[in-house]
Amino acid sequence: MSERDADRRFAVVVAKPRTQAVIDALREEGVYDDDRSVRSWDGDSVAIPVTDPPQSVEVREVVEQVGEPRLRGLEDHLRERGWTDDELDAAPSSWAVVGSVVLVKLGDSPRPEEVGEALLALHGEADTVLARGGIDGAHREPDVTFLAGEGDTETIHTEHGTKYALDLAEVMFSPGNEAERVRMGKTVEEGETVLDMFAGIGYFTLPMARAGASVTAIERNPTAFRYLVENAMLNDVSERVTPYRADCRDVIREGLSSGEGLGGDGRVDRVMMGYYEAHEYLDSALSALSPGGVVHVHEATPDDLVFERPIGRLEAAAADADRSVEILDTRRVKGYSEGVAHVVVDARIE
């Protein structure tokens, strides 16, 4: 093989909105090249690196990239910009691509704008980079800062077939919860009735509805609610999603008193509590849950109280309602903050 042949590498050209779906399909076929970056191709498409032309993935065209530098990560891109070892030590260690937007935690990183430009070079499918701050207020609104690119914060993010339209400057999105969102789509059964008490833009509602569940989705943030309704239509599940812009306690109280909505008799087979302070609403959640139903409780818990505290709170709420608890599963989803973990407890309530 000549030196020129050894340097020859392939890429597939696809429309930019299909980037993540195509990458997932290429990974499944075993031809996605992790050693190279996705790069912009023209105004509306990207070139995704592959080890060989794919056989089962539909693409616009297969192209050759000869002599393309193998920049493996952010550090390589920053070194090209003259960063020293000390500066690289302070560079971001985590970021996520959400649709066409890169979300990055800057920490103590120097030269934030260069970080943004490097991330755009690393992720050709993205056109905007935002620095992530915290989540503030009763409506869980994100604090983000523009770093680089076009500045368009509205996007559509596709995750295992579920489409999420959102504005990352207006509503929260946690990339670290992806496994939980996917898991809930696999956990529910077709025909189940589900109450999602803190639905947001449809984080858990959408995969559950796509799996065939009928979901009562409650969200009081008007911006998130607008995207919730839009996303139900975007995923063709509007007939299985009943959205309410209200306080979840009011919806539950009305459903129980009228015997309508929720599960038809005011109660449901499953309750999703995907909010870190969900324990404050456990009494309402259990009142809406049919005997033998399942509740999924998310909580931000200090490391030394992981599982002990959320299980204790759940058992206390059940005792107050004269009901029993069977713990089905416990999971540590991710780190929430220093010394605090995001955990989930699944329990059957008799």
Binding site residues for S-adenosyl-L-methionine, as ranges? Answer: 174, 181, 219
Annotated binding site: which residue ranges? 174, 181, 219
Residues 275, 296 contacting (CB under 8 angstroms): no
- What is the spatial distance between Cα 192 and Cα 214, in angstroms, rounded to a whole number? 6
C-alpha 183 chain-centroid distance: 12
Residues 164, 172 contacting (CB under 8 angstroms): no
Task: Give the Cα-Cα-Cα angle 121, 124, 125 (nearest 5 degrees).
Answer: 145
Which residue pairs from 258-266 have beta carbons closer than 8 angstroms and sit at least 24 positions apart in sequence? 261/216, 262/193, 262/195, 262/216, 262/288, 263/193, 263/290, 264/193
Distances (CA, A) of 115 to 96, 98, 148: 13, 17, 9
The three-state secondary structure class of 236 is: coil
- Nearest C-alpha neighbor of 162 from the set 12, 278, 21, 335: 21
